[in-house]
């Protein structure tokens, strides 16, 4: 079990984490929460109707990590539009789609990151340090979403656009300031992969 998730009887998954791993994952999840920001109703009124009818932004985020987490729905940066009119039409469609969906997407990503923090905070330390994290099937799905978001965020900071881009990163010298981020990216990828396997029928 060390270093990878294993399925639990009846659904869910478990993984052994040491104190450093717990601290790293929790810190990354908190940073993700700070980046995503509060929900529409969390910094305004407590009026549920106001939150229900709140419209999201129409422009893509300026931060490249947020642009990776909340990409335009109708544009592919690698595809050249057939005409300037098509590009303008795609921008309009993306803007409208973002307006009605981004708040919900942010809420979902925020909830997944909060589940990570809460489950880690609820761990009972083992005698030799660290703990066994046991997740329900639902918490496993939330963790999977959060691990994916964390890898997208780190990958964006490392300017990874494709998994094939990681070859050079594997060979970074220890003194390279990107090395800790690369190690976290690879480690989270391993966790994500084994968690996916526990959810497979």
Residue 53, pLDDT above cutoff 70: no
Instruction: Please state, rounded to an integer, the average pLDDT across all residues of the chain.
Output: 83
Q: Among 115, 107, 116, which residue's Cα sits nearest to residue 26? A: 116
Q: Between the CA of residue 99 and those of 34, 45, 54, 61, 168, what are the distances in Å?
A: 21, 20, 9, 12, 38
Q: Name the pLDDT band for 148 (thresholds 50, 70, 90).
A: very high
The percentage of residues in the chain with a pLDDT greater than 90, rounded to a whole number, is 44
Q: What is the pLDDT of residue 44?
A: 46
Dihedral sign, Cα of residue 10, residue 13, residue 19, residue 22: negative
- What does residue 132 show for φ and ψ, rounded to 5 degrees? -100, 115
pTM, rounded to two decimals: 0.81
* Average confidence (pLDDT) over 63-70: 86
Report whether 93 contacts 130 (CB < 8 A).
no
Residue 170 to residue 161: CA distance in whole angstroms: 15
Q: Could you read off the pLDDT of 82-134 as tens digits, one per residue?
A: 566 777 777 776 777 777 778 888 899 999 999 999 999 999 887 777 899 99
Report whether 129 contacts 160 (CB < 8 A).
no
Residue 81, pLDDT above cutoff 70: no
């Amino acid at each position: 079990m060390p270093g990878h998730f294993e399925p639990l009887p009846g659904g869910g998954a478990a993984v052994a984490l040491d104190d450093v791993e717990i601290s790293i994952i929790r810190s990354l999840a908190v940073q993700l929460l700070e980046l995503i920001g509060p929900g529409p109703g969390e910094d305004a009124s407590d009026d549920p109707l106001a939150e229900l009818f709140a419209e999201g932004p129409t422009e893509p985020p300026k931060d490249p990590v947020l642009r990776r987490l909340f990409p335009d729905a109708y544009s592919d940066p690698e595809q050249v539009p057939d005409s300037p009119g098509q590009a303008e039409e795609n921008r309009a469609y993306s803007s409208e789609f973002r307006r009605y969906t981004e708040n919900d997407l942010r809420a979902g990503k925020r909830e997944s990151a909060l589940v990570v923090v809460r489950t880690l905070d609820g761990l009972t330390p083992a005698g030799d340090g660290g703990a066994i994290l046991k997740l329900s099937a639902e918490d496993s799905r939330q963790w999977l979403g959060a691990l994916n978001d964390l890898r997208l965020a780190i990958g964006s900071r490392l300017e990874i656009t494709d998994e094939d881009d990681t070859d050079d990163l594997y060979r970074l010298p220890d003194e390279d300031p990107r090395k800790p981020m690369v190690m976290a990216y690879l480690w989270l990828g391993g966790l994500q992969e084994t968690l996916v396997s526990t959810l497979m029928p």
